[in-house]
């Protein structure tokens, strides 16, 4: 997705973010799984495998989004489609996945055909800040950690434009933690720069952006305790395959590998909101 580092009029598939996502996706597919997002563990005693925790996170999101058969969902930053497939299979909703990494779009299309879901799930090479869809095109949208690489305020406005009145939004993202952290400013700056993360917003900033985009009934839930095992488990997977990955990805890939093995402290939130119904005043 386009960030403030790359002008929206440039080819998004050639942007630094698209290149990063291509490399990061290859790393995650090898070391973590096809869900390019955090897992969800029930408690500190939960030793569920990575894949189970990833599917559980999808379950949590699907239940919170609350869509049903015949509705149309926009998946912003869809990766190779694993959450979209689970959403379509469980609800019967139609899912349009958008991404700026060509290999992800092609792979998502291939997997949809392979799973017999291409009648419900499609993938398109689209910049979230310049979507070609008409107003009021979708019943719901979700953004699964993809706001990390999107300029959030205009991204929220772009999504609001293509949602129908009453349309629902769900997203997961990371915020500045309110508790003291052990990370140095240098370590945090290096992480944000290498991983093309524009900033870590505060909760207050984020809530303002969501409401300014026209959304109401905003619920922001801190699920940090359920997701914090993700970083250490990804790091363990990378260490196991490190030499092979460095040989495959080269020096630039090695820099991304190092950052993906170095977690910074964040607050991880799951947020839901909706647009007002037609004729209703927003508040």
- Tokens 């609001």 belong to 160
Q: Output the CATH code of domain 12-274.
A: 3.40.50.150
What pLDDT does 4 receive?
35
Query: Do the bridges between strand 163-175 and strand 216-222 make them parallel or antiparallel, or are there none, so unpaired?
Result: unpaired
Which one of 22, 124, 145, 190 is the catalytic residue? 145
What pLDDT does 191 receive?
62
Residue 188 has pLDDT above 70, yes or no: no
At 207-251, the pLDDT tens digits run: 999 999 999 999 999 999 999 999 899 999 999 989 999 898 887
Could you confirm whether 255 is annotated as catalytic? no
What pLDDT does 67 receive?
97
H or E segment and range at residue 4: none
Domain ranges of the chain: 12-274
Return the axis-axis angle of helices 229-260 and 16-31, rounded to nearest 10°.
130
C-alpha span between 21 and 118 (Å, rounded) = 23
Name the pLDDT band for 283 (thresholds 50, 70, 90).
very low
Can you tell me the mean pLDDT for 94-99?
97
Query: Are the CB atoms for 81 and 121 separated by under 8 Å?
Result: yes
C-alpha span between 19 and 13 (Å, rounded) = 8
C-alpha span between 110 and 93 (Å, rounded) = 19
* DSSP characters over 10-42: S-GGGSHHHHHHHHHHHHHHHHT-S--S----S
pTM for the whole structure: 0.88
C-alpha span between 265 and 28 (Å, rounded) = 20
Pick from 269, 260, 53, 272: which is nearest to 174 by CA? 269
Average pLDDT across the chain, whole number: 88
At 104-139, the pLDDT tens digits run: 999 999 999 999 999 999 999 999 999 999 999 999
Q: Phi and psi dihedrals of 96, rounded to 5?
A: -110, 110
């Amino acid at each position: 997705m386009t960030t403030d580092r790359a002008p929206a009029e440039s080819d998004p598939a050639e942007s630094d973010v698209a290149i990063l996502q291509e490399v990061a996706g290859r790393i995650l597919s090898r070391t973590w799984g096809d869900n390019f997002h955090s897992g969800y563990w029930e408690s500190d005693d939960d030793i569920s495998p990575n894949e189970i925790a990833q599917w559980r996170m999808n379950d949590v999101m699907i239940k919170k989004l609350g869509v049903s058969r015949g509705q149309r969902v926009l998946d912003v930053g869809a990766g190779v489609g694993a959450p979209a497939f689970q959403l379509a299979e469980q609800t019967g909703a139609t899912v349009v996945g958008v991404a700026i990494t060509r290999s992800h779009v092609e792979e998502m299309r291939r997997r949809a055909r392979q799973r017999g879901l291409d009648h419900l799930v499609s993938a398109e090479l689209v910049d979230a800040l310049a979507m070609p869809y008409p107003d009021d095109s979708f019943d719901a949208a979700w953004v699964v950690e993809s706001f990390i690489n999107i300029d959030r305020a205009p991204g929220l406005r772009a999504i609001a434009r293509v949602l129908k009145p009453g349309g629902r939004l769900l997203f997961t993202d990371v915020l500045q933690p309110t508790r003291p952290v052990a990370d140095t400013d240098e370590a945090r700056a290096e992480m944000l720069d290498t991983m093309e993360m524009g900033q870590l917003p505060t909760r207050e900033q984020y809530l303002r952006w969501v409401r300014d985009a026209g959304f109401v009934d905003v619920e922001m839930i801190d699920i940090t305790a359920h997701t914090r095992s993700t970083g250490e488990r990804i790091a363990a997977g990378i260490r196991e395959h490190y030499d092979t990955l460095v040989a495959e990805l080269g020096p630039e890939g090695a820099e991304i590998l190092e950052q993906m093995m170095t977690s910074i402290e964040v607050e991880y939130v799951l947020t839901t909101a909706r647009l007002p119904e037609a004729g209703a005043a927003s508040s």
